[in-house]
């Protein structure tokens, strides 16, 4: 990993994604209807099918102005997506990233697939959208809400797709970064040291630790799954420990300009780039003192698991926060970034109290006081 870099990038993004089927028994859902309005232009109509009003985070979802994955695209296999995965705070969320839908209400979003995927081959593509959004109560994530769509098959004129608008144009992406802020460099260095400890401890636990604990997060005690989880965590520890080599580039600030409000950090899996946003420094503590709380170390660990250069395939964001990861099955869990972060949370002896692993389990995410460092 390269911690401090000076370089120019011409970026073409792609990342591994897959469908996210969910168990919908009795859970209110968002129903997504996709339609093609013109070539690669897609309209999504999102309806609250439940009997109650819901408020949720729309980051990484429809309405997010950032180049995020809104639908899975298949042409035989999954079409690689160029785009980012954003990691947001779980409390103190501000209204601009929240959407409220009354029971039965619908909102629409229109977006261009060509902005985040290369559809230049043209032909038939199948689209599907499923996953979960984070429900919010009083500005804090309180649960999750599954969403799903029917499949939509579209015919794309590749020439026109190729000529389509490109907010992801490499021209916008030539960036220069010199992490000259010594305070940030030192905070990030500390966090990466903690990632090494947490990821190594979690890898040990995956290899030979409590079966109950492993099943709690990964929904199986199968040796193969334990081995995959351990290998990914060891790869993360190794990556975080490699300061001037390695597969990823970790920027200490928002080099590509994708930090929206409430976003802590993001990853560009196709380029193995991770970048911290300002609130990664101002809002997060080094290490959480409560079970399943967010901190700098597990946020960085989460991002590392997205990078296919660390361990392939890179993870997705299938569920975010403890209540959402509880609902995933084992094949989803091994591909879900936050499952690794939450499993690793509090694994290290560095974490004083309130870890989920040596202390009593509290499944509630407590509100962490923000630590302001003024950088």
**Using rule CB under 5 A, residue 1 touches Zn ion:** no
Compute the distance between CA of residue 212 and CA of residue 215 in angstroms, rounded to an integer: 5
Compute the distance between CA of residue 63 and CA of residue 195 in angstroms, rounded to an integer: 33
Query: Is 303 a catalytic site residue?
Result: yes
- Where does residue 158 rank: exposed (0-12), middle (13-18), buried (19+ CB within 10 A)? middle
Compute the distance between CA of residue 79 and CA of residue 72 in angstroms, rounded to an integer: 8
Binding mask 56-95 for Zn ion (x = CB under 5 A): -----------------------------x-x--------
Q: Which does 292 bind (CB under 5 to 8 A by kind): ligand NAG, Zn ion, none?
A: none
Give the nearest distance from C-beta 20 to ligand NAG in angstroms.
8
Q: Which does 353 bind (CB under 5 to 8 A by kind): ligand NAG, Zn ion, none?
A: ligand NAG
Give the nearest distance from C-beta 268 to Zn ion in angstroms.
12
Compute the distance between CA of residue 300 and CA of residue 282 in angstroms, rounded to an integer: 15
Tokens 């804090």 belong to residue: 140
Taking CB under 6 A as the criterion, which residues in 10-29 touch ligand NAG?
21
And the tokens for 323?
């209540």
**Using rule CB under 6 A, residue 139 touches ligand NAG:** no
Give the nearest distance from C-beta 302 to Zn ion in angstroms.
5
**Using rule CB under 6 A, residue 36 touches ligand NAG:** no
CB nearer ligand NAG, residue 65 or residue 352: 352
Q: Which does 157 bind (CB under 5 to 8 A by kind): ligand NAG, Zn ion, none?
A: ligand NAG
**Using rule CB under 5 A, residue 342 touches Zn ion:** no
**Using rule CB under 5 A, residue 317 touches Zn ion:** yes
Q: What is the DSSP letter of 171?
A: G
CB nearer ligand NAG, residue 36 or residue 261: 36
Q: How many helices (H) and strands (E) does the chain have?
A: 9, 15
- Main-chain phi, psi angles of 186, to 5 degrees: -75, -35
Tell me which of 303, 326, 360, 368 is the catalytic residue.
Answer: 303
The response to whether 102 counts as a known ligand-binding position is no
The response to whether 16 counts as a known ligand-binding position is no
Binding mask 287-326 for ligand NAG (x = CB under 6 A): --x-------------------------------------
**Using rule CB under 6 A, residue 120 touches ligand NAG:** no
**Using rule CB under 6 A, residue 352 touches ligand NAG:** yes
CB nearer ligand NAG, residue 107 or residue 162: 162
Binding mask 353-372 for ligand NAG (x = CB under 6 A): x-------------------
Compute the distance between CA of residue 287 and CA of residue 166 in angstroms, rounded to an integer: 39
Q: Which residues lie closer than 8 Å to 1 by C-beta, 6 or more apart?
A: 192, 239, 240, 242, 243, 245, 246, 247, 248, 249, 250
Q: Out of 43, 45, 160, 166, point to the residue binding ligand NAG (CB under 6 A).
A: 160
Beta bridge partners of 35: 43
CA angle in degrees (0–180, nearest 5) for 14-251-322: 70
Sign of CA dihedral 264, 267, 268, 271: positive
Strands 140-149 and 130-137: antiparallel
The response to whether 306 counts as a known ligand-binding position is yes
CB nearer Zn ion, residue 101 or residue 337: 337
**Using rule CB under 6 A, residue 159 touches ligand NAG:** yes
Conformational region of residue 345, where left means phi above 0, alpha means psi within -120 to 50, and beta covers everything else: beta
The alpha carbon of residue 212 and the mean position of all alpha carbons in its chain are separated, in whole angstroms, by: 26
Which are the catalytic amino acids? 303
Residues flagged as binding site for Zn(2+): 302, 306, 317
Residues flagged as binding site: 302, 306, 317
């Amino acid at each position: 990993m390269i911690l401090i870099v000076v370089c120019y990038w011409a970026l073409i993004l792609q990342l591994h994604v897959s469908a996210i089927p969910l168990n919908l028994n009795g859970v209110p859902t968002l129903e997504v209807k996709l339609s093609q309005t013109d070539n690669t232009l897609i309209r999504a109509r999102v309806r609250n099918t439940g009997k109650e009003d819901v408020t949720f985070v729309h980051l990484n979802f429809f309405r997010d102005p950032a180049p995020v994955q809104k639908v899975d695209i298949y042409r035989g296999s999954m079409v690689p997506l160029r785009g980012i995965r954003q990691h947001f705070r779980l409390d103190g969320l501000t209204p601009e990233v929240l959407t409220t839908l009354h029971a039965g209400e619908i909102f629409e979003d229109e977006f261009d697939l060509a902005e985040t995927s290369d559809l230049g081959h043209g032909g038939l593509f199948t689209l599907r959208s499923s996953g979960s959004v984070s429900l919010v109560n009083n500005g804090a994530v309180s649960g999750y809400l599954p969403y799903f769509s029917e499949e939509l098959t579209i015919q794309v004129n590749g020439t026109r797709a190729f000529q389509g608008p490109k907010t992801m144009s490499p021209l916008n992406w030539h960036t220069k970064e010199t992490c000259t802020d010594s305070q940030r460099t030192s905070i990030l260095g500390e966090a990466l040291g903690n990632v090494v400890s947490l990821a190594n401890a979690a890898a040990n636990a995956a290899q030979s630790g409590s079966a109950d604990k492993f099943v709690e997060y990964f929904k199986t005690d199968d040796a193969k799954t334990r081995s995959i989880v351990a290998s990914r965590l060891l790869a993360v520890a190794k990556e975080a420990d490699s300061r001037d080599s390695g597969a990823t580039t970790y920027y200490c600030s928002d080099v590509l300009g994708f930090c929206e409000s409430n976003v802590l950090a993001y990853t560009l899996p196709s380029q193995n780039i991770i970048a911290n946003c300002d609130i990664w420094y101002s809002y997060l503590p080094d290490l959480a003192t409560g079970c399943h709380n967010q901190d700098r170390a597990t946020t960085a660990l989460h991002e590392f698991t997205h990078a296919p250069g660390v361990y392939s395939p890179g993870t997705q964001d299938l569920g975010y926060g403890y209540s959402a990861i509880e609902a995933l099955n084992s094949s989803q869990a091994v591909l879900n970034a936050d499952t690794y972060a939450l499993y690793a949370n509090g694994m290290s002896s560095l974490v004083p109290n309130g870890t989920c692993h040596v202390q009593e389990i509290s499944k509630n995410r407590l509100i962490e006081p923000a630590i302001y460092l003024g950088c």
